[in-house]
Amino acid sequence: MRRYFFTIAYRGTNYHGWQKQPNAMGVQQKVEEIFSVILNQPIAIMGSGRTDSGVHATQQVFHLDLKETVQVDQLLYNANKMLPKDVALLGVKTVKSEAHARFDAISRSYQYKIITQKDPFSDDLAYYFTLKLDVEKMNKAAKILLEFRDFESFSKVKTDAFTFNCEIFEAEWKQVHEALVFHISANRFLRGMVRAIVGTLLEVGMNRISVEDFRQIIAKKNRQAAGRAVPAHGLFLTEVKYPDEIYF
């Protein structure tokens, strides 16, 4: 058997997140069903982490063990033929047998996209937001995230997380053409964390709370202190990084 890391992209609009669920369709289940048909055996895959319902990914990663006789390039081709148009396998790499898509990830990156002008081509792919924002002030607040480790204030209340500690490496708003995009990278994320952070930073940008208020919200470790979670359809998982030594 050989272990492979597959890279996959998906538009999350029609899915209840990445993870397989008993009563709803996740992207993971769709991939497992297609692979099971092609390989004529039950297939289970392990993703780098979950994404919420409606969230998109330009680079999600999952691992799978396959017999050495399987031609993975052909598998990739056949699966893409059978997968729906909103899911695409982008590539595959051979990794060491102990490599794990979830536990070996050293960083994950997300982007949240906001548009301020109505755009029929960004339906379900960006948050249409018309109120004026002080982006400079939002970036001052975003930098404070790098000073903290405990982000309970931005976590969903009902969660199975064993710790609220995360190390954030990057948090910045950037103007990209007509869109305003929030970039954030960390070693791990809590459920709903990015959407809650963005929602609270928007409160800063609208001058409803100060930069110092934002700092105090993090320190309180209380989800009720933070702002609302922004809609899922503006959020993208954009990159999952691994140490070089897991690859052959």
Catalytic residues: 52
Residue carrying structure tokens 């903290």: 148
Contact 51, 233 (CB under 8 A): no
- Answer for the pair 76, 89: CB distance below 8 angstroms, yes or no: yes
What is Dmax (Cα atoms) for the chain? 61
The count of C-alpha atoms lying within 13 angstroms of the C-alpha of 206, restricted to the half-sphere facing its C-beta, is: 11
Distance from C-alpha of 31 to C-alpha of 61, rounded to nearest angstrom: 12
C-alpha to C-alpha distance for 9 and 6, rounded to whole angstroms = 10
Structure tokens at 40: 């004529």
Binding-site annotation: residue ranges: 110
What are the C-alpha distances in Å from 65 to residues 42, 44, 77? 12, 9, 18
By three-state DSSP, how is residue 50 classified?
coil
Binding annotation for substrate: 110
Question: CA dist 24 to 117, 169, 245, Å?
Answer: 33, 33, 37
